Structure 1
Amino acid sequence: MATEQEAVQTVKDAMQTLRKQLLDGKVFKHLPDALGEIYNARPAFQETPITTPDDDMRALARISSISKRIKGSNDPKISDEELSFLMDHLASLSPAVRDKGVFFLMGDLFQADAFTVAQIDWLATYLQQPDVLFAHILEPQNDAVFLRSFAVMLLSGLVYADSRYHVLSAEAYEALTLNFATYIILERDGRGYVDPQGWAHAYTHIGNLADELSQVKALSRGHKLFLMATVLEGWQRMDDALVFGEDQRIAGYLTNLAVKHQFYAESLVMCLTSWQKRVTTMRPRESEAFWNRWYNRSRLLEALIIRSDMPKGVIDYLQKIIDVY
């Protein structure tokens, strides 16, 4: 029997094959259905123990010390050991440590250009490690979602910062996009705010990284289309209610991409058309998951249609399908 890591690799291989077919011009209109087949074939594993940091007070004290030093310096720097310490605490279940601590401090470090080129390269590798980006992702809803989701969020900060560092090559961006698309297909934990652990917010973070990658010139249109279609497939198949502002974030990403070129606007309509065909064949089910998916769709379409900057062709199609369903 395959291990969870091997199962993740199998899905990644399928995504890589499909992306190559798209780039080779062998699949376009059938891309959403092909992604759906990969999604539906996603295996499930039993829950396993999750290791998380348990030194909240010590971590908070050290994060505060690093933060004060950074903000008080004209030439802020962070050591490799300190960076490793911060990443070790990205899995913390304390929102004060993970969110307001590590994440806020990393944001300050990105803004201050406090990293070395080697540290940016190390971060890009670390955040995409299978035991980070895909930690326990094939298991029932679990506390590893915070590590996975915040790894995605920090990757968005890294991509933004790389416009100044210029560390990632075209090949590195293509590899990141594939890992990210695989993550979207595999992530089924759509919880927003989780009491008392704080924000999981996977789909907000997905919107952030997808938006940053849409700005990367090294990525071709085919790579960006593949990612857009994957985001929409993941959204429509999420069983949790996405009610913590995720619709606005994803709508912002889709609009920003659609206005870049008519190709993206037409591709968005193609993906929405495929989704609409599935909707028209659905029969209501007496299940929470069904109705969550139904109203997730309504929220996203409404968030898209009120965008004043969305291309007219997309708006016209949205108005047509909203009137029908």
Structure 2
Amino acid sequence: MATQLQSVAQAVRALREQLLAGQLFQQLPAALDHLMASVAVEPATPVALPDDDLAALAKMHTIRQRVKKTATPSVSDDELTFLVAHLASRSPAVRDKGAFFLLSDLFQMDAFTAAQVSWLFNTLQQPDILFAHIMEPQNDAVFQRSFAVMLLSGLVYADQNRYHALSSKQYSGLLQRMCVYVLLERDGRGYVDGSGWAHAYTHIGNLADELTQVTGLARGEKIFLMASILAGWQRMTVPLVYGEDQRIAAYLVNLAVKHQFYADSLVMCLTAWQTRLHDVRPQENINFWNAWYNRSRLLEALLMRGDLPKVVVDYLQKIIDLY
């Protein structure tokens, strides 16, 4: 996996640099689609998951009770490492309502030191977390990947509003890795029976929305992220039917209303998508129709927004018969 991941990351970096240098714009959607098409599925390997559910829940309860009883809540580095490790749990009680909820509460309590914020920021982007088993067939590592993205969205919000510990360079690096993640993630499962929420595209929308608010990021970087998310959505063959369309539509609108350039860029990406469909013929398989109706749901979710810029509304109404 390391070799292919490195190759994709290098290609994303090169495309991003070309866009920021003004050497690439209209060709960006096609370039991203070509890059995604070049990624090969890799053989499945065993996914290591935490297997200490009862002990983990007891430890989380102890931490939660302690921090609630003090005016200056804090956690040790070992406790923080423990909580992050359990974002990989297949148990929703441990992962979602346990580690993730507790980490989110700790953010609200200002319980982390600046060093811990920096550690979290770097650790959640490590390849063995953010890209764990990402190019393999559908697997349980999706929970760790997806919840790392969700926790990063909370971290960005907390840093922008309270900590102010991260630099523009660090945010640019996060956006770069986020684009790589979006272009590689193929597991779009929402609610997984017996395991709770995976919800990668909802979490993608949350982090993308937070990055939209970061003033230190250039317009071109935000356009690159938007184009990557739309490229990833186009190739998703899992039905996105758990509210992901509304979440991504909200992100797209929140970006598009910030400046006419973003609205025009969204139309450019949608036009490239529409153009690509001119050569597509219906196929009698589930992947084709899942992707087709994922598109319909997203475009409909955009049109349902009352704050969608007029240039985008006009374009969508022009192609409405071809949904």
TM-score by length of structure 1 reads 0.98
**How do residues 19-168 of structure 1 correspond to structure 2 at under 5 angstroms?**
19-163=16-160, 164-168=162-166
- The separation in 2 between residues aligned to 1:70 and 1:213, in whole angstroms, is 29
TM-aligned CA deviation for residue 324 of structure 1: 3.5
Root-mean-square deviation over aligned CA pairs: 0.7
TM-aligned CA deviation for residue 64 of structure 1: 1.2
Note the alpha carbon deviations across 1:49-96, whole angstroms, 9 max, x for none. 111000000000111111122222211111111001101111101000
Note the alpha carbon deviations across 1:299-321, whole angstroms, 9 max, x for none. 00000001001111111111111
Match of 2:219 among 205, 221, 232: 221
5+ residue gaps, structure 1, are none
Note the alpha carbon deviations across 1:256-275, whole angstroms, 9 max, x for none. 00000000000000000000
5+ residue gaps, structure 2, are none
**How do residues 213-292 of structure 1 correspond to structure 2 at under 5 angstroms?**
213-292=211-290
- The separation in 2 between residues aligned to 1:191 and 1:272, in whole angstroms, is 24
1:307 partner letter: R
Flag the 1:67–1:119 CA change in 2: closer, same or farther, 3 A: same
1:281 match: secondary structure = coil
Q: Does the alignment pair 1:305 with 2:289?
A: no
Note the alpha carbon deviations across 1:214-262, whole angstroms, 9 max, x for none. 0001100000000000000000110100000000000000000000000
- The separation in 2 between residues aligned to 1:320 and 1:113, in whole angstroms, is 49
- Shifted more, 275-284 versus 263-272: the winner is 275-284
- The separation in 2 between residues aligned to 1:309 and 1:76, in whole angstroms, is 40
- The separation in 2 between residues aligned to 1:212 and 1:28, in whole angstroms, is 23
1:228 partner letter: M
TM-score by length of structure 2 reads 0.99
Note the alpha carbon deviations across 1:141-173, whole angstroms, 9 max, x for none. 000000000000000011001111111111111
TM-aligned CA deviation for residue 323 of structure 1: 2.7
- The separation in 2 between residues aligned to 1:81 and 1:190, in whole angstroms, is 32
Match of 1:181 among 176, 179, 182: 179
- The separation in 1 between residues aligned to 2:68 and 2:305, in whole angstroms, is 37
2:72 match: secondary structure = coil
2:79 match: secondary structure = helix
Match of 1:169 among 143, 167, 170: 167
2:71 match: secondary structure = coil
Percent identity of paired positions between Structure 1 and Structure 2: 64
